[in-house]
Structure 1
Amino acid sequence: MDPQPRPNASAEEVRSAYADPKLANVLYHDWEAGTYDEKWSISYDERCIDYAVGRFRAVAGNSDWPYEHALELGSGTGFFLLNLMQGGVIAKGSVTDLSPGMVQVALRNARQLGLDVDGRVADAETIPYADNTFDLVVGHAVLHHIPDVPAAMREVLRVLRPGGRFVFAGEPTRIGDRYARRLGQLTWWLTTNVTRLPGLTGWRRPQAELDSSSRAAALEAVVDLHTFDPAELERTARAAGAVDVRAVTEELAAALFGWPVRTFEAAVPRERLGLGWARFAYRSWQGLTWLDENLLRPVLPREIFYNVLVTGVKPAQQ
């Protein structure tokens, strides 16, 4: 039987987590599971379906759709798999995550959407499925949480059927992570201090919520284990046995805009930000993404963009 979520970890457990990245991942993501979709503006409608399918297409193209059975590794609330299923990329899905809370939310989301999905609490370094089980393995913002990425990549190749593909998206590059974190820290400091001023206190979240966010951010620094160079990530995939490996990067202008926006949203009361703000943020991100894809990516080094996506295939004969 899978373990139960622990959304209210004790102070002793949290202290222990600073020396144990896997425990930190469980506690942090169990803590965040119930509000994770809201925090990151995750939805299961046209907006996020287009985003998920767009990320998949950007690195893997349109071949072999739909994949009959796919696994999402480190699924979180199921964002990537469920939206790819709705977009026609995948017929049947399985989710795994180290966090029991995240698996519960992912399965609940799948039921509400009427999608054929099962799930397991599982370590990415020891995936609890037999060899040659899946046609596709996907993940979004998961590799940077895994202590031993080469071991996880070998496991991905093991559970894929010959000719099966993996697609990982949303992983931070080394350069991108540096500027994103600094922008986030600066935005948090400015927002939480400016909203102390007279006349602006209504824009300040209650101190208990800010303290909770700060504690979450402290654990987040423990669970974020890696940043990636695209070429090194390609070499890791090839060393695991993959062929047709390809890494692409995206989001430079969009990341320089998006990280301050997301941090600002976390620091102010949600009710202060209405539909107009949401439209402004999303349309601005769309426009900057177009700029990145059409004007910046063709001429700038791929290493300076924020996100790296990687795909590869298990050889047909092994």
Structure 2
Amino acid sequence: MSSDPAPNPHATAEQVEAARSDPKLANVLYHDWEAGTYDEKWSISYDERCIDYALGRFRAAAPWDGRPYLRALELGSGTGFFLLNLMQAGVAERGVVTDLSPGMVDAATRNAQGLGLDVEGKVVDGEHIPFPDDSFDLVVGHAVLHHIPDVAAALREVHRVLEPGGRFVFAGEPTTVGDAYARRLGQWTWNATTTLTKLPALQGWRRPQQELDESSRAAALEACVDIHTFDPADLERTARAAGFDGVRASTEEFSAAMLGWPVRTFEAAVPPGRLGWNWAMFAYHGWQRLSWVDEHLLSKVVPRSWFYNALLTGTTPR
């Protein structure tokens, strides 16, 4: 890590303005900014709840026979949510967490150390992965492809660093239709919450104005880092063009996303700890129930492109 750049956790207004025309700079600034609170913001943990969630996403995307992959790479690891929880589930023995943000790499490696996992960390641009050919038997990512300017180049790099017969799994990528309704729901929730909590009777539910201003500045950067939305069929074509076999894009979360986005936005607008355990259980179990409805009922009648999350997998030829 000594050769990696240092995190910059406090973006200035001038840096935010510069980042509007530089998506890679925006990604570094935004994710460095968010690294210290990212796990809290997205309710990320490294216990049974998120282990089950990560493994569920992996299995929803790709077959797995229960044998661990020997060496896995995660692109855009953030704080390590996907790979670290997959490793705890037994999917991989050793791992490398990478991100364009030094702050996120620091957070991910600290989390890995705390869990006793065999994990290295490196600041990496997904379009130029600095590892030799055939270095890994598994590459994963969660909510990363939509941040990368040249997705086709990134997938070609994934193909290069995977050994013959190696697999990639990307999950949590926004579909074009899903992103449209999720953003509207999130914006309506934010506006309603921040307006209502100005009322004297509800001021105890309002974050301090400085924190709200910080969130608004971060949101301005977030709009710059979310570069793409995807049609599942287009994702499949891009992966096949990169040379992968057995390519498959699936989708999940339709009604679950319509609950999840307002819930997460509301949580970001009120003081930390204000909502308590009962709220957390309502949010989690509500998402679980609606995910069941999506998988077992709505997936049979709703086009896959209408679901919020896209999952993509494929293998390199042997």
TM-score between the two structures when normalised by the length of structure 2: 0.98
Number of matched pairs: 316
1:145 maps to 147
Counterpart of 2:157? 155
1:26-37 aligned within 5 A? 26-37=28-39
Q: How does 1:84-163 map to 2 (within 5 A)?
A: 84-163=86-165
Distance in 1, Cα, partners of 2:295 & 2:90: 24
**Aligned partners of 1:10, 1:198: CA distance in 2, in Å?**
32
Q: How many Å separate the matches in 1 of 2:251 and 2:283?
A: 22
Distance 1:13 1:214 in 2: 15
Question: Corresponding residue for 1:313?
Answer: 315
Moved more, 298-307 or 58-67: 58-67
TM superposition shift of 1:64 = 6.3
Q: For the aligned residues, what is the CA RMSD?
A: 0.8
| Residue 195 of structure 2, aligned match among 179, 193, 196 | 193
Please state how far the C-alpha of 1:61 moved relative to its aligned partner.
Answer: 1.8
Residue type at the aligned position of 1:303:
S
State how far apart, in whole Å, the 1-side matches of 2:313 and 2:55 are.
14
1:48 correspondence with 2:50? yes
- The letter of the residue matching 2:76 is G
Residue 296 of structure 1 is matched in structure 2 by 298
Distance 2:46 2:289 in 1: 21
For residues 167 and 301 of structure 1, the distance between their equivalents in structure 2, rounded to whole angstroms, comes to 22
Does the 8 Å CA contact 2:182/2:258 hold for their aligned counterparts?
A: yes
Hey, what does 1:230 align to over in structure 2? 232
Tell me the residue number matched to 1:243: 245
The one-character-per-residue Cα deviations of 1:268-295 (angstroms, maximum 9, x if unpaired) are: 1122111111011111111111111111
Other-structure match for 2:8: 6
Moved over 4 A (4+): none
Amino-acid identity (%): 72
TM-score, normalised to structure 1, is: 0.98
Structure 1 match to 2:25: 23
Runs of 5+ in structure 1 lacking a partner?
none
1:198-277 equivalent positions in 2, closer than 5 A: 198-277=200-279
| Aligned-partner Cα distance in 1 for 2:157–2:33 | 27
